[in-house]
């Protein structure tokens, strides 16, 4: 494979984007986002390109997220590099969301954070038995960005809130059942699937419909009623209270998980999702997330979360505030305040 971190080319009417940073599980940096934007813009008006296919090199997974270390180092300073990354990444997410030609993404293996951002806008989203999907940001003091404020509240019931707050990891049977992914194909059949997509560049959905199989029974089905009942509230305190009052093993396990997360991130993420549900456009959501992201990366909890999970790997973050009561509405209002016009995010 080429040394480039993203390989772009056109094959038989399909614009192909292959993530090629396998040692980092294809974690996105600004250069990778710029390369994808350049290809998509070039193909948008090219009649020879009928559809787009996004996949990855190597075996370790589709995309583990964004370049968190860089974002944290930038956030420890003036956050200008982090904001520049978010601006470009979110422009890529929006370009894919609004793209006039069908996009397919094969998410074989790990797909988290930024990987969700470049696969969820695709029209055809193919999972395999190796797929592991999560938005684990509350565990590092962040929030489920890259469009999470748009996609998560539009999942069935309160499953998006549950996913955002707990950072739960799902396999393909659940992601397909929830509509996160549209199709299931065995990982061993993805090479044949790509050949089919290249042979039928105009209608990737018809190809996926024909080739896909059953992902199997969805384990989450047993808990969907509880999720909808216990995660319906507009404050994290009420969710905690509902889980405790429910008292089932499953509910108490969710509560135990939530108590390990950043209290600030829990409140930020819940407000993000409730706000995102009310917005009229994906672009409005990305503008909200951009304003929020540039501020959150400078907070104690993000710096501490990255230290605990990624740098020192002691998995023992010291959150501040240490509990929900310490995270005031005024703090949230300041984090969510819109940016001035000349600083605000806008689409390409």
- Catalytic positions are 66, 114, 137, 145
For 167, 255, 269, the CA distances from 242, given in Å and listed in that order, are 19, 9, 18
Alpha carbon distances (Å) from 28 to 11, 23, 65, 150, 299: 24, 12, 6, 20, 22
Alpha-carbon distances of 255 from 54, 208, 302, 318, rounded to whole Å = 37, 38, 21, 18
Nearest C-alpha neighbor of 221 from the set 128, 284, 157, 154 = 157
Edge-first strand listing for the sheet containing 6-11: 6-11, 14-19, 51-56, 103-107, 124-127, 183-184
Residue 24 to residue 119: CA distance in whole angstroms: 18
Q: Could you tell me which of 217, 223, 270, 228 has the C-alpha nearest to residue 249?
A: 223
| 298 token code pair | 């400078």
If we measure between CA atoms, which residue out of 320, 140, 169, 162 comes closest to residue 242?
A: 162
Question: Which bin fits 26, alpha (ψ -120 to 50), beta or left (φ > 0)?
Answer: left
Distances in Å between the Cα of 227 and the Cα atoms of 164, 165, 239, 299, 301 are 12, 12, 10, 30, 27
């Amino acid at each position: 494979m080429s040394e480039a971190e993203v390989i772009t080319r056109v094959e038989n009417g399909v614009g192909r984007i292959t993530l090629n940073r396998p040692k980092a599980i294809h974690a996105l940096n600004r250069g990778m986002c710029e390369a994808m934007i350049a290809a998509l813009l070039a193909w948008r008006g090219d009649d020879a390109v009928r559809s787009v296919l996004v996949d990855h090199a190597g075996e370790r997974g589709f995309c583990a997220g964004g370049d968190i270390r860089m974002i944290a180092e930038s956030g420890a300073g003036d956050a200008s590099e982090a904001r520049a990354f978010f601006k470009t990444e979110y422009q890529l997410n929006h370009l894919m969301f609004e793209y006039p030609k069908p996009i397919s993404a094969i998410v074989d293996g790990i797909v988290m954070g930024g990987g969700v951002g470049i696969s969820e806008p695709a029209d055809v989203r193919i999972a395999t038995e190796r797929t592991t999907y999560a938005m684990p940001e509350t565990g590092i003091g962040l929030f489920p960005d890259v469009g999470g404020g748009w996609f998560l509240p539009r999942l069935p019931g309160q499953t998006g809130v549950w996913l955002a707050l707990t950072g739960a990891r799902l396999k393909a049977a659940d992601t397909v059942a929830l509509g996160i992914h549209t199709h299931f194909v065995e990982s061993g059949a993805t090479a044949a699937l790509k050949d089919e997509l290249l042979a039928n560049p105009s209608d990737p959905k018809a190809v996926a419909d024909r080739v896909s199989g059953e992902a199997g029974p969805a384990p989450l089905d047993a808990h969907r009623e509880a999720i909808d009942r216990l995660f319906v509230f507009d404050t994290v305190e009420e969710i905690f209270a509902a889980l405790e009052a429910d008292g089932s093993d499953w509910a108490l396990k969710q509560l135990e998980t939530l108590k390990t997360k950043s209290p600030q991130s829990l409140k930020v993420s819940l407000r993000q999702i409730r706000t995102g549900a009310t917005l009229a456009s994906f672009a409005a959501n990305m503008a909200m997330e951009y304003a929020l992201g540039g501020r959150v990366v400078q907070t104690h909890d993000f710096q501490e979360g990255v230290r605990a999970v990624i740098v020192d790997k002691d998995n023992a973050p010291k959150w501040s505030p240490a509990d929900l009561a310490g995270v005031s509405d005024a703090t949230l209002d300041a984090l969510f305040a819109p940016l001035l016009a000349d600083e605000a995010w806008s689409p390409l």
